[in-house]
Amino acid sequence: MKKALLSWLITILTPVVLILTFVRILLSPAFPPIEYALPGFPADTYGFTQPDRLRWSRYAIDYLLNNAGPEYLADLRFNDGTPVFNEREVSHMRDVKTVVVRILPIFYLALAALAILAFWAWYGGWKISFLIGLGRGGWLTAGLIAFLGALAATSFWQFFSAFHALFFSGDSWLFLYSDTLIRLFPIRFWQDTIFAIFGGAALSGIGLGLAARFWLVRVNDGV
């Protein structure tokens, strides 16, 4: 019974770790330069050059990961003295940071727990239960992503709106096309981001499921 419960705990932890791994990877200043360089990425009709986008997007992402307050963004100014981010944008970014601050510890704890369970399983004599749970978690991840991906493919805007409604109140995430956040992160940016997270997590889940099956055969054969 104990091994079965631990195996299911591993199954539950696996999708959390896989999905949030790719969230954390893309929550990096290194991602926007890659995204902006993709063929067909829309130019900013209000005048941002690519260096402009790289500069200001770096501030936005750094803010989500550093310990600074909202003044980090509120104090930024263009050459003519106008704020880079207006009050509504700063308020939304503060809300986003709150979500990030809550999610990242969950990721680190889940990753640490999975690593501890792996060590315990290997040296505690329940490798088979661990591998079963890990493989099951990989397939669960792939299935969950397939479901969410189908929802996103059916209507990305509805999916995007539902996602924001889950984490943010009201319409605080809606902006004018002329606002800096939209100019830096247009809808194409979010489509590619979600595709990368879903694609990476799904492929990792399938790979983990297949790898766990392979390891189970070897363990059962005493290799």
Residue 92's pLDDT is what? 93
**8 A C-beta contact, residue 219 and residue 128:** yes
CB 133 within 8 A of CB 208: no
Q: Is the pLDDT of residue 188 over 70?
A: yes
Q: How confident is the model at residue 125 (pLDDT cuts 50, 70, 90)?
A: confident
Match 């829309």 to its residue by tokens: 42
* Pairwise CA distance, residues 36 & 194, whole Å: 15
**Average confidence (pLDDT) over 167-179:** 84
| Number of domains observed in the structure of the chain | 1
What is the extent of the structural domain holding 82? 2-220
Read off the pLDDT of residues 198-218 as tens digits, 9 standing for 90 and up: 999 999 999 999 998 888 877
Mean of the per-residue pLDDT values of the chain: 92
The predicted pLDDT at position 137 comes to: 96
Judge whether residue 52 has pLDDT over 80.
yes
pLDDT, mean of residues 145-151:
93
Q: Supply the pLDDT for residue 66.
A: 94
Determine how many CB atoms are found less than 10 A away from the CB of residue 43: 12
117: phi then psi, degrees, rounded to nearest 5: -65, -35
Mean pLDDT of 67-96: 95
Rounded to 10 degrees, the C-alpha dihedral 35/159/168/144 comes to -90
